[in-house]
Amino acid sequence: MTELIDHRLRRSWTPEAGDAAHLPAKALRWLVQRIGPLGSAAPFAPDSALSVPEPVLGEQSKRDLEELVGAEHVLMAPGERLARAGGLSYLDLVRRRGFGDFPVPDAVVLPENPAEVQSVLEICARHDVGVVPFGGGTSVVGGVAALRGDKSAVIALDLTRLGELVSVDPVSRIAVLQAGVTGPEADRLLAAHGFTLGHVPQSYERATIGGFAATRSAGQASSGYGRFEDMVSGVRLATPRGEWKLGIAPASAAGPDLRHLAIGSEGALGVITEVALRVRPVPEVRRYEGFVLDGWEKGTDAVRELAQRHVLADVTRLSDVDESEVSLALNDGWKTKVLRRYLKARGVHAPCLLIVGWEGASKREVARRRQETVRVLERFGAVRIGAALGESWRRGRFSGPRQRDALIDNGVCVETLETAAYWTELSDLRDAVRAALTATLGNAIIMCHVSHAYETGASLYFTVLTARDEADPIGQWQRAKAAASEAITGIGTISHHHAVGVDHARHLPAEIGEIGVEVLRAAKKTVDPAGILNPGKLL
Ligand SMILES: Cc1cc2nc3c(=O)[nH]c(=O)nc-3n(C[C@H](O)[C@H](O)[C@H](O)COP(=O)(O)OP(=O)(O)OC[C@H]3O[C@@H](n4cnc5c(N)ncnc54)[C@H](O)[C@@H]3O)c2cc1C
C-alpha cells in the first residue's frame, strides 16, 4: 500500500521537501526578538512512540470488507491506521509530536470505484461501523478525526484509488473527475485536453476533488475562477440509502438546489465519488505583480472598489501591515531596505502589500484587464513595486505548509483561522479577532490578509505565531481559537473555506439557526438512518 499514501504525509508536507524544510537562522532570531524565547524543539514522534489502540473491527465486518475490496485493501497495521488518523491542523501536528492523544481508525479501507464505495457503506451500515471519508487528509478543522461516536468501530475510507478522469465534454466545458484525484493530478489530466480547473488552494498539492467539494474550498485564484462550489455542475454521491446523482443542467428552477446538500456536506451526508466540473482553457499568459497601499483601510477600500467594478484580478491578495512587515523582514536584504526608503519617499508609511495576478488567453487580453485593475489602484495611491514580487509570491505560494512544519519543529505555536464578513463589518471584525487572540496569547504576531473578495464583502485570513506553551500546548491554542470564534460569531461566518468539522460544529447553530440544524439533521436521517457517516462532524 505504500505507493498509495506516503507515510511521510503525516510528518511533513511533501516527501521531497518535508525533511529539508528549515528556517533560516536569521528568521528564527527575528522571531525570538518579536515573540520571546520559543518552546523546545519538537520533532515528529516515531510511530512506535504514539499510542495506537488495538482495532475493534468485528471479524465478520472485516471479512465482508475484504471480500468486497480485496484483503490487500483493508489495512489494519498500526502505521497505516496512524497515517489516516486526523488531519493537518496545528493541534493535529503537535499531537503527532507526542503532546496528547488522538483517535485512530480501526481499519483503513481503499475501494476502487463508486460501486465499491456504495457497497462499503452498505456493509458498514449492516455492522454498525462508522465511516470517515478520507481524501488528502488536509482538513484543518478535525474533519477527518477518526471519531467512533456511538458506533461499534470506525474505518477511514481512503479514496485515493478513485483517481480517474471519467470524461471530458469540450463543447460544454465539463469534466467528470473521481473523488480521489489530487489538485496537480486533476490539472495534469485536464491539460491533455487543453483545460484547467483554476483551483489552487494552498493545500493544492495534497487535497482532492472530493475533499474540495465536501468542504466548499476556495482557491487562491477564486476572484477569477470562482470558489470550488462555483465550478461544480454535478455530483455522484454514495449514501447508506443508495446512490444519489445530482446536476442535470447548467441552471435549474426545479426546486431548491440539492447539489448543495452534497457540496459542503463534509462526509456527513454521503461519500462523493465523482464530481462534474466546469473547466476553463489552460491560460496562455500569466502576469503577477506587487503593489503597496498605505494602510489597511485604503487597501480594503481599493479591493472593494475593484470587486464592485468587476475588475478584480484573478488573484487578489491584500496583506495587512503586520503580514507585510513579516514578509519584508524575512526578505531583509539591500533590496528591501531600498524598497522601504522608496515607499517612505512616496508617502507610504504603513505598507500593505497587494499581490495581483491575471491569467488569460493572450497578452492583449491580460494587458486590457490589467489596465482596468491598475487604473482603480492608482486612484487609491497604490505604488507599483513590480513583477518580481508577484512572481516570487506565485513561485512560493505552496511553501507555507513546509514553513509551518519547520516552525512547529522549532517550538512555535503557528496556526491560521479564517472568516468572511460584509464590507461594513470587515475592519471591526479584524480588530475584534486580533484583540481576542492577543488577550489569550499575550506576546504574539497576528497577521491578516484578504484573499477572496466579493462585491458585498471579503474573507479575513489570520496567521498567528507565538511561543509554544510548554506546559499546555493543546490548551494554549484551544483557548485562543475559542476566543477568536466568539469574536466572530454573529458578525462573520465561522468558516469561509476551512469548513465546520469538529472544531466549528459548536458554532454552527448560531450561524444557521436551530431550524437550519434540524433541517440538516432531517436530511442526515434520510440518507444515513443509522448515522454511520463521519460521526461528530458538521452536526
Ligand atoms: C497548509 C494548508 C493550507 C490550506 N489551504 C487551503 C486553501 O487555500 N483553501 C481551502 O479551501 N482550504 C485550504 N486548506 C484546508 C483543506 O485543504 C481543504 O479543506 C480541502 O478542501 C480538503 O481536501 P482533502 O482532500 O484534503 O479532504 P480531507 O481533509 O481528506 O477531508 C476534508 C473533509 O471532507 C470529507 N471528505 C473528503 N473527501 C470526501 C468525499 N469524497 N466525499 C465526502 N466527504 C469527503 C472528510 O471526511 C472531511 O470531513 C488548507 C489546509 C492546509 C493543511
pLDDT (tens place) for every residue of the chain, 539 residues total: 433 344 445 455 554 444 445 677 888 888 999 999 999 988 878 888 888 999 999 999 999 999 999 999 999 999 999 999 999 999 999 998 889 889 999 999 999 999 999 999 999 999 999 999 999 999 999 999 999 999 999 999 999 999 999 999 999 999 999 999 999 999 999 999 999 999 999 999 899 999 999 999 999 999 999 999 999 999 999 999 999 999 999 999 999 999 999 999 999 999 999 999 999 999 999 999 999 999 999 999 999 999 999 999 999 999 999 999 988 777 656 677 888 889 999 999 999 999 999 999 999 999 999 999 999 999 999 999 999 989 988 988 887 777 888 889 899 999 999 999 999 999 999 999 999 999 999 999 999 999 999 999 999 999 999 999 999 999 999 999 999 999 999 999 999 999 999 999 999 999 999 999 999 999 999 999 999 999 999 99
In a domain, 289, yes or no: yes
Same domain membership, residue 363 and residue 430:
no
Same domain membership, residue 302 and residue 322:
yes
Nearest ligand 1 atom, CA 139: 29
Range of the structural domain that residue 230 is part of = 165-281
DSSP of 468-514, one letter per residue? --SS-HHHHHHHHHHHHHHHHBTTB-S-SSS--TTTTGGGHHHHHHH
Same domain membership, residue 437 and residue 360:
no
Select from 139, 178, 229 the residue to mutate for testing ligand 1; criterion: most ligand atoms less than 8 Å from CB: 139
Nearest ligand 1 atom, CA 228: 11
Same domain membership, residue 207 and residue 142:
no
Nearest ligand 1 atom, CA 451: 8
Domain boundary among 224, 254, 281: 281
Same domain membership, residue 11 and residue 66:
yes
Sequence length of the chain is 539
Ligand 1 centre distance from Cα of residue 181 (Å): 13
Which residue owns the Cα nearest ligand 1 atom 2? 203
Catalytic site includes residue 461: yes
In a domain, 141, yes or no: yes
Which helix (H) or strand (E) is 351 found in, with range?
strand 351-360
Q: Are 84 and 5 contacting, i.e. CB atoms less than 8 angstroms apart?
A: yes
In a domain, 36, yes or no: no
Ligand 1 centre distance from Cα of residue 216 (Å): 9
Binding residues for FAD: 133-139, 266-272
Q: What's the structural domain count of the chain? A: 4
Select from 94, 108, 203 the residue to mutate for testing ligand 1; criterion: most ligand atoms less than 8 Å from CB: 203
Match 455522484 to its residue by C-alpha cell. 236
Same domain membership, residue 481 and residue 383:
no
Q: Are 81 and 107 contacting, i.e. CB atoms less than 8 angstroms apart?
A: yes
Domain boundary among 158, 191, 208: 158
In a domain, 311, yes or no: yes
- Measured CA to CA, the distance from residue 145 to residue 536 in angstroms comes to 9
Which residue owns the Cα nearest ligand 1 atom 18? 139
Same domain membership, residue 116 and residue 178:
no
Domain boundary among 281, 305, 338: 281
Q: Nearest to residue 165, comparing CAs of 174, 152, 155?
A: 174
Which residues are registered as beta bridge partners of 132?
A: 156
Ligand 1 centre distance from Cα of residue 453 (Å): 21
Q: Kindly report the CATH number assigned to the domain that includes residue 85.
A: 3.30.43.10
Ligand 1 centre distance from Cα of residue 138 (Å): 5
Reported ipTM exceeds the 0.95 cut: yes
Q: Kindly report the CATH number assigned to the domain that includes residue 354.
A: 3.30.70.3450
Same domain membership, residue 304 and residue 223:
no
